[in-house]
Structure 1
Amino acid sequence: MTEVQQLEQLMNEMLPGLQLFARDINLTPEEVACYQVGAVVRNPAFTDATCRVGGMVTTHRYGILSNHMMDLSYAEHGTNWGLCIANRDSHFKVLDIYEHEGKTQILLLHLPDDYLWKWLEDLTIHLPGNLVDDCRSRFLNKAFGEPIPEVTSEDWMERCGFPIGVDMEGKLFSNEIPIAKQMRPVKEASFRSFYHELVYIRCAALIEDVMPEVAQPGDTGLVLYGYIDEEAGVSFQPLWIAKENESTLDMRLIPEETMYLIRLANLDDCEFCSMKWIEVDPYIADRARRVIAEVYDTKSKEKEETRTFQGLDQFRHREHPDDFGVAVYYEDKSKEPERLWVRISRVEGNQCFGMLLMNSKHPDGPKEGDEIMFRVLQNEKGDLEVVSVQK
């Protein structure tokens, strides 16, 4: 795919379905001067905005064009803000700054939440139709109208009281995200942070231990592709050896003829971050996905579906997410309850089915390899647990 084709594809993903959101604020002249048409700004915090656009009680309004704001209005409890949020570290391109009779709209385009924002940093974006003019007209029609009480309330204005992309000293945040601020402990992460994802893991000592023949001075970590091996659990294929800079990685491809596999337990003392902000060779990443899919990924669509049920996550084995410690109770009250490990295979309604990985302690109890049904129930203490009832 050519660069032009890639940009066309990006635009086709970013522009359809654009909505206009509002975030009202009083800005100082110095803060307004931070914004230049064509520039990109990054907001490290979540960016609150509303889909309920009415009259202004402030001097400035951010008009945010986006097709991927998170709509959290369903989670409101009587506030009626029409709350929509852009994720942490969202990037916005300044499209227009328009002032009329003491009111100013700063029009922002919400860029992709990954490294693709960089493709648009120095690019002049030609929006469909007369979108900027339309946004100006909508601003004029709304800004001087009747304010909406809920989104001009003290609580809402406090939520929106800091300028997008500007720090406490009145300077723009760097558009690059420091890797150090992205890092978090592996042992505190769910398997979902790794499953079918590219991650960077600081593991200099592991490189020396596992792959000394390709290690070099200054290596700080590995770029890994994560997957679930049905027998070995959460696993990783290393693709690149990396040297960490402030916000970028110098990456060295691991020879194709050499294949290493790393298990989650080997990384528990390490820190990691997602690779979504760092551009990699898509051919290498896609090749790894194809190899893993062919060799290690489950061939069962039913099992793959079980991994999508986040409500089960609290009961999963951390290193083996398909495995559950099931509390087994018996209709025969002479048999003591016990906890047995079960590898899930499918979900039907509110019932889960899986294969026992061990024998019951009762001679006539279920055996390793048997299929049993289990479900999530509330126990006598009021806690949720996964339970199976056997004869």
Structure 2
Amino acid sequence: MKNSRLKSIYNETFSGLKLFYRDTDLPDNLISNYRIGQIIQEKGFTDMSSLNGGLSGNCRYIIASAHAKDLSIFNPDSVKIGHFLLDTISYFKVLDIQIIEDKTQVFLLNIPDNSLILFKNSSSNLEEEITEKAREKFINKKNSPLIPELQTKDWKERTKTPIGMDSNGEMFFDDSKIKIESSKRIEINMTKKTIEVNKKPWWKIW
């Protein structure tokens, strides 16, 4: 893959990246369907909040995305819950799964639909950096007070379903169909929202 193509994909993925949160209660057999490095697809809209409080369920999704839509533009009441939305047919890479006592955090990176092979077969320093931040947020917020605005019946209904699978645990996307290549690690320099990809002989981007 050419260096210019890599830069384009990583700019689309990481430029303007923000963290969002979505809590729910899931049985262990559904949570166990997630694997670090897995690529998943969500068929429906993904409701999530920019507000980071205590966990209101046994499972927290923390979602890193540069493409979430701020619904407060259309509905002023959405400001109270920090309501953001991802479109249908969104793809994610599972960057981390963290378990502390009876709580689980699943960290998802929203990725372009034309980059599945790249993200399946590579990792980057940026992925590592944001994973560390997500872990810190989980530890710091695990026992924090709940945000009352996120405890309403309407919000819990919007966020009760698992991401990437149906209520029976059937995954919407089989990432085993993605072409497997030798694993690669990519070093990315990001300054002023511009990404530079370090050239490595094993990646053949010269």
Shared fold (TM-score, shorter chain, > 0.5): yes
Contact 1:91 1:175 in 2 (8 A): no
Correspondence 1:161-310 to 2 at 5 A: 161-174=160-173
The residue type paired with residue 8 of structure 1 is: K
How far residue 142 of structure 1 moved from its aligned partner, in angstroms, is 1.8
In structure 1, how many angstroms separate the alpha carbons of the residues matched to 2:153 and 2:31?
22
Distance 1:110 1:128, change over 3 A: closer
Partner of 2:89 in structure 1? Answer: 89
3-state secondary structure, aligned to 1:78 = helix
TM-score, L = length of structure 1: 0.42
In structure 1, how many angstroms separate the alpha carbons of the residues matched to 2:86 and 2:2?
28
Write out per-residue CA displacement over residues 94-145 of structure 1, whole angstroms, 9 at most, x where no aligned residue: 0000011321110000011x42334323333432663211111111212311
The residue type paired with residue 99 of structure 1 is: I
Contact 1:46 1:85 in 2 (8 A): yes
Partner of 2:201 in structure 1? Answer: none
In structure 2, how many angstroms separate the alpha carbons of the residues matched to 1:124 and 1:76?
38
Structure 1's unaligned 5+ residue stretches are: 177-391
Partner of 1:214 in structure 2? Answer: none
Write out per-residue CA displacement over residues 57-76 of structure 1, whole angstroms, 9 at most, x where no aligned residue: 21110000011111112323
Contact 2:95 2:127 in 1 (8 A): no
TM-score, L = length of structure 2: 0.77
Partner of 1:117 in structure 2? Answer: 116
Distance 1:137 1:119, change over 3 A: same
**Which structure's relative contact order is higher, taking Cα pairs within 8 Å and 6+ residues apart?**
2
In structure 1, how many angstroms separate the alpha carbons of the residues matched to 2:9 and 2:123?
14
Distance 1:57 1:168, change over 3 A: closer
Distance 1:106 1:129, change over 3 A: closer
3-state secondary structure, aligned to 2:167 = coil
Contact 2:39 2:94 in 1 (8 A): yes
Contact 1:73 1:81 in 2 (8 A): no
Indicate yes or no: 2:75 matched with 1:76.
yes
Number of residue pairs the alignment of both structures matches: 174
Write out per-residue CA displacement over residues 295-324 of structure 1, whole angstroms, 9 at most, x where no aligned residue: xxxxxxxxxxxxxxxxxxxxxxxxxxxxxx
3-state secondary structure, aligned to 1:115 = coil
Distance 1:94 1:55, change over 3 A: same
Greater helix fraction, Structure 1 or Structure 2: 2
In structure 2, how many angstroms separate the alpha carbons of the residues matched to 1:170 and 1:126?
31
Distance 1:30 1:67, change over 3 A: same
Distance 1:175 1:83, change over 3 A: farther
Structure with greater Cα Rg: 1
Correspondence 1:303-382 to 2 at 5 A: none
In structure 1, how many angstroms separate the alpha carbons of the residues matched to 2:58 and 2:127?
29
In structure 2, how many angstroms separate the alpha carbons of the residues matched to 1:29 and 1:40?
20
The residue type paired with residue 97 of structure 1 is: I
Query: Percent identity of the aligned residues?
Result: 34
3-state secondary structure, aligned to 1:108 = strand
In structure 2, how many angstroms separate the alpha carbons of the residues matched to 1:85 and 1:21?
10
Partner of 2:153 in structure 1? Answer: 154
In structure 1, how many angstroms separate the alpha carbons of the residues matched to 2:98 and 2:61?
11
3-state secondary structure, aligned to 2:122 = coil
